[in-house]
Structure formats: C-alpha cells, structure tokens
Structure 1
Amino acid sequence: MAGASPHSRGVALIGSGSAQAAQVITNHQLGQRVETSDEWIRSRTGISTRRVSSPDQRLSDLAADAGRSALEMAGWSANSLDLVLLATSTPDDLFGSAPAVQAALGASNAVAFDLTSACSGFLFSLVTAAQYLRTGAMRRALVIGADQLSRFVDWDDRRSCVLFGDGAGAVALEASDDDGLLGFLVRSDGARGGVLNLPAIDSDAPLADDARHRRGGYRPIEMNGQEVYKFAVREVPAVLECLLERCAVSPETIDWLLLHQANQRILDAVADRFAIPRAKVLSNLAHYGNTSAATIPLVLDEAVRDGKIQPGHLLASSGFGAGLSWGAALLRWQGPA
C-alpha cells in the first residue's frame, strides 16, 4: 500500500508528548542476573539503560500521560478530539486499551481504538489517522504509541532481555490546508514473520466429553536477532529511498532522520546509506532501549522539547519490526500555533 498527498486537505503535526516508565534498569544490573556486561550490550546495541514499568504502572497510564502532554502542547481540550488511536502490542485489556485512555483523558467526543503492528505501529497509526482527517470525516486526532514489553520479556534470556523497555509517546494531528504528511509507504511480509514473535501458548485443556479448548496466554518474546538486523538494514534504506524518489526529495534537504529506536548500528547504517550526518540522526536509544511502538513519538517529543526540531523542519521517518512490517513517511513538523 502506498500514498502521497492526493487530497486538497492535509494534516498538520501540532503537538507531541511522552511518558516514561518508573524504573531505570542499567546494563550492570542486568549483568547481575544474566551472563552479560555493560561493554557487551553497548557495543552491540548502543543501549546503556532502559525504563521498566513499576508493578502499579499500567500501559493505559503511560499512554494517557503521553496524550495529556501532547494535548497541552497543542493547546487543545480533550473533548475537541475526534479520534484517539493507540498503537500498542501490549494492551492492559486484550479487547483494547484505547477506550480506557479516551476515558482517562476525558475525550468524550472521540472514537477510540487500538492498532497492533508491533514496532511499526506508531507509523502505521499516524498514516491511518491522517486518512480520516484528509477525507474531512474528522478534524482532530491523537495518535499514541505505547508498549510495556517488559511484561513479555524472558529476563533470563541474555539475547533479548537487554534490548527492550517500556514507554509512551503521542502526537496531536489536525486537518489543515498545509500538509505535514508529504508521503508514505507501508509494507508487510508475513512469510518472514517467524523471526520475531510474541506467540500464544500452544496448549489445550478438557472442555466437555471428548471436546477440548485452547488455553489463552502468551509465551515470552522470541527473536532471531541476526535475521531481524539483516532485515532492517536492507529494507529500511530501500523503503526510504523509494519514498524520497517518489516525493522528489533529496536526502540533503532532510533536517532529521527519525527512525524506530531498535539498535544504534541500524540507525548509523541508514544514515551512512544516504550520507546524512550523524548529528541529524535522532537517537535516545541509549537511555530507553527498544520501546516498540513508543520509540518514534518518544524521541520526536524529546527533540521538539529540546529545541532541535523547529517548525518547518523536514523529518524522514521509518518504523520496522514484527510482522514483518516496515514503512516510511516524510513529515513536516508544524508545532502549536
């Protein structure tokens, strides 16, 4: 599926927000649990610490806090929202956590639903929300990316436990004559999906007579790290290059590279492919780890609040992960009026 900006109506990125999990876990602390070290983790991933939710901190709490922050920056009241779209693979409720977030925000006029696409979730949700605004069906949307992967990590598996963290980020979008979504490309390939999974428990139990039923529940995250890395360094530059060509945008005009924060080596490889200076690559991976659908809006919000991203800046963004799924978007940051 692909799209550019075919309609007269566009979308403006008005506000951003984020929320952090309560606990900071260092590489040294993980080294006390599994056979690893700070040097081993940093050299292979770029991660120094990660955030892990406290036992009383729910996914919907993080998402609502990030959403409030974005609304405050935008200067909007919650009841002015038409849509609350929550990108998450780890809801508090398997039926969906977006309605709980809507209620927590007081966004009584908004429809709310979840979208699940793992680490690509925020980018896919941003593109989805934009279509509602472009058609004129809705005027304002809040897109939130939030995940608590710490609930599904095997903390005794040193290959995966060092990678993930919890967090949330949000962006406030508004229908506008000036389009902040210059173009996008989104991709999926289920044939390669077996390299990164959070699979259901494969077990059953007696029901009645000879009938049996499948049990609910999930196993910890399973990942082939080498294959995921090869997928990312191949597909992310390719989809970005295709999008830049389609939109007639040259890499040197990009102000910031806004990528899913999975591995610092991936971020560097993409920047090198397009000869983009490392100083233009947004990265907070060292402090948060991979927060899945939260990484892009979280690093975006930090860069906006730090004054790096200014109104009018052009951002080349890409999300990638389980599914397998990946995509890219060209974004123009507008900021609050």
Structure 2
Amino acid sequence: MESANQTDIVEFLLLGLSDDPEVQSILYGVFLSIYFVTVLGNLLIILAINSDTHLHNPMYSFLSKLSLADICISSSTIPKMVVNIQTQNNSISYTGCLTQAFFVLLFAGLENCLLSAMAYDRYVAICHPLSYTVIMNTSLCGLIILLSLFISIVNALLLSLMVLPLSFCKDIEIPHFFCELAQIIKLSCSNTFINNILIYVAAFLFGGIPLSGIIFSYTQIVSSILRIPSVKGRYKVFSTCGSHLSVVSLFYGTGLGVYISSAVTDSPKKTAEASLMYSVVTQMLNPFIYSLRNKDMKEALRKLISKIAPHI
C-alpha cells in the first residue's frame, strides 16, 4: 500500500455514524440538542455551586470542575460532527485532527482523576468525619485539581505528539465521528508498536489506578456504614454517595463497554456507536443525576433559577 509522510497528509475524513442523508439529518438535530442540553445543564451546575455559599466545600468544588470537563469534552467532539453533517463535508485537517484527539484525551483523563478525587472526598467525610475539614482543606483540594490537570495535559501531549513521526497510508478515512487516537494510529503504515504500548499504559494509569482508588474508597465507606446500628442512619449516610456512584457507574461502565466492543468485534462502526456513551451521553446525563438525586443541588438550582427568571 502506498504511503505518505505525515507532512503530506493535508486532511483526514471522518466517516461519522452514517452516510445515509436521511439518517444524517436526524443525527444533526439529535446531536445539536444533546450539545445544547449538555452545555446548559453543566453550566447551571457550575453557576449554582458558585452562587450558593452552602456549596463552597470540596465535594461541590470537584463537581463544578467535573461539569466544566464535561462541557469541554463535548465541545471537542460534537460541534465538528454537527458542522460536517450540515456542510456535507467530512474532512478535518491533519492539525485539527491531532488537536481534537489531544483535547479528548485531556478532558477524559481529567474526568477520571476528578471522579477518583470525589470518591476520596466521600471516604474522608464518612470514615473520618471529625478530621474532614483538616484533611480536605482548600490547599489540598487545589493541589488535587492542579495535579489532575497537569497529569492529564502531560498524558494527552505525550500520546498526541507520538503520532507526529508516523507515516500514513493513502487510506485516510477514520471510521468514527471524532479523531480517536487509536483510530488514527490504525491508519499508519509505520511501526506503531510503541504507540500501542503507550495507549495501553495510559489506559491502565487513567483507568485502572483511579478506578482502584474509587473501589478502595467505597470498600472503606461500606465497611464504615455497616457499623452504623440504625438502618435509617445507614441509608442517610450512603445517600450522600448516590449521585457520585451513579456517575462513576455510567462513566466506567460505558468506557468498559467500548473496550469490550472493540475487542470482540471488527466493526469500527459499532465501536464508534459505543463510544457515544462515554464521550457524549454521559456528559449530558451527569447534570441530571446530580440535580435529581441531590437535595442541596436542587435547592441551589431553585435559588439560581429564581434569580435569573425575573431578568429574562
């Protein structure tokens, strides 16, 4: 197969989810609606947390950063897909493709770290309540957020820059709706052994380690809750973890689903469809999970909307 150096590659073609014009018109409306709901929902969460002093604590500080990451990861993928459908042009520049892959990796990694940090926050609050304010102080929370961002940037940069030396075959069609790094590497005619190893290492670091931290935290939480004599008391304490557990289950469950689907099927289209869950749907549902299952968030959102409504 004829190959070309990466400097000769002007653009890639994102094949999307369907090439049927009727299906594409439906997808256009669906994804535009999803993007609007995602941005609006997560923006309301951020504004509600910042405007209500009762929510100025580590748990909601992490949540506001998670909502911001949700907005950013959706903004990295959906707008380009919508524009491509509208213009009937599936092309994306070489630089634009690598930039998109970088931002998806960055914000997905950040979301992983923040979910783990939120689990640790719940662990300290339930298992060490008397020391909570001392352990989860402002400095530690700020350090966790900055460290999560730094690690995510380094990981995204390393994986993205490792694509630059690769040569690509003339077949530059990406069977996906965004530039997923693994799909880009599959198009290369170069030896991609190191790239694949790095992807597996990164998947372990940003999947396995945070998930292990979450499992450990909840193991300790469950152990602590079981020592509470009152059933009502157990429920009340565990209910503070309900929203976070739902988000964790959704994020890691869909991510695992994508991994399994890519391992057992040779259909890139099915893998792309599975990727919708962790890169699009999860970000839309997170605000609903936290607003519907959390009494404090409901009250904060009610106050925010009552302030905004008279000015509309």
Instruction: Tell me if both proteins adopt one fold, taking TM over 0.5 as the criterion.
Output: no
- Normalising by structure 1, we get a TM-score of 0.30
* Higher fraction of helix: 2
Instruction: Give the structure with higher Rg (CA).
Output: 2
- Normalising by structure 2, we get a TM-score of 0.31
* Higher fraction of strand: 1
